[in-house]
Structure 1
Amino acid sequence: MAEQNVRSSDAAIGVFDSGVGGLTVLNALRAALPHENLVYLGDTARVPYGTKSAVSVMRYAEQAVRALQSRHIKAVVIACNTASAMALEHLQATYPDIPVLGVIEPGALAACRQTSSRHIGVIATESTTYNQAYQKAIINLMPDARVRAQACSLFVALAEEGWHSGELVEKIIAKCLQPLLEAGGEGGDMDTLVLGCTHFPALGEAIANVVGPDIKLVDSAVTTAAAVSERLGLAGLLNKQSPAGTLGFLVTDGPERFVRVANNFFNETIASASVELVDIQHYSAT
């Protein structure tokens, strides 16, 4: 049974990811909800989730939520596509008294609203692509949509190393996207591409240069932030205090590397002193 969580409007929103990619979601939350207190947990000891089994990801995700609950949070945002695909329903069932939101449903909804041709592409990690989470979510919303997905796990390394632009980066992106773009070219009408990994927005400009102006990119971070705002508003949990919200960071390994790599994803400078090393494995999952 989940621990009882006492919620109040000034409690923090807990955000977790396997590492640093979820900081793109934190950016969007910070912009959309500037008065909210935010606690970010990066499970850097076990990154990447994209190569792990569903059982392992569900266990990791539950440990992350339990660790965040110890910080008296009022909501959870799964800022990881793999964890959203594999653990969202489990977490929502395990913690019925706290809003738990993922990034896939908001991204799928944004893609469906944006497309005119109903031909949508998705790029993600291997596990998210194999799980078909975006494909299923899009078809559920738009049954006559055509959805093609391509695994682009190499983009994660590019993003984390700060290789975000330039001729070489665009050549790598073009090579990785070639199967998707050639398949999309058969109909000539793919007009929407979902960035199905929270690392990928860091490469957004380079990806846009490769796919061209006729294909619009969907960043699920922005739509997720809007969904969080709506959900908290309906629950009467929006923080309406005037001061800017606080930020806290938890990592399970390598806080120094986290601070260094975070500069590639987060719009604000993260002070080393604000990053706490925690062991979440003792938060046993049920």
Structure 2
Amino acid sequence: SATSASIGAHVGTHSAAEAARVIFRFGLWPAALELWHIAKADPRARQWDRARWQDGQLVLDDLAPLPLSKLAATAHARGFVTGAIAHSFSRWAWSRARFPLFGEQVRAEIDALAIRRGSGKFERIDRVSVKFPPTDNNRIGTAYTSMCGTLVRVEIERATGILRIAKAYSVFECGQALVPEVVLGQSHGGFAMGVGYALLETLPPFEGGPGNGQWNLGQYLIARGSDLPLHDLEIEMLPQLTPDEPPKGMAEVVMIPIVPALLNAINDATGHRFRSLPVTSSLLKGALA
């Protein structure tokens, strides 16, 4: 895939997102219709794009919320789609194809698809048509980014909402590292930037923010040593896959997974899912009240 470093997460997760849409459309949604006792001829049966997830439950208008566990159990029991594997290709645009699924032509930004029904085996779905981005797109130039993943453990003081990162681990693969010390240094800096982005840095609009010309680092908070797990941060740089593998750009990729790792840890600790940044101590205190 033609990518640049800062969109590595977008490119790396596209196939999974497309596969998830197939599972929802032909697995969880039919299960929801059955549990809601909605017939296929009912206009609501085509409103899957209006349904949304709220606290682990599928909700639609005034219908009873359905927990994911119940939807999954129904999909398995009825032989609906419970798994999907998708392949995508990016050349500054996504490959696109049509697949015959359950009596209709499904268009998706993928070029290969396999599905599993219930607990059965995966079966490949023969595509009806496929279109790949033009090779002329390559004139834009390409870079090959590394992949990175992060785990964090957080502790949150209930009375104040103050969060402490107790332990953190990041692992990445960037091909041949020409100067390993610089690569590791950048990954440490990326971790600090991710922490600041997730927990501290905010720019209010208009006169209440930096637009008044009075802001400095006293108002725009960035991560300091006290905000970081200085003695409990482990960075692992995986060896190159083959002896002749070239260096791959890493840039911001070492920052990207820090934010979702922190948000997932906060959700695990508080049961609350924050969907805007930064997640400040006052917001955490309110969620724990």
Of structures 1 and 2, the one with the larger relative CO (CA 8 A, separation 6+) is 1
Fold conserved between structures, TM > 0.5: no
Q: Which has the larger radius of gyration?
A: 2
TM (norm. structure 2) is 0.21
Structure having the higher strand fraction is 2
TM (norm. structure 1) is 0.22
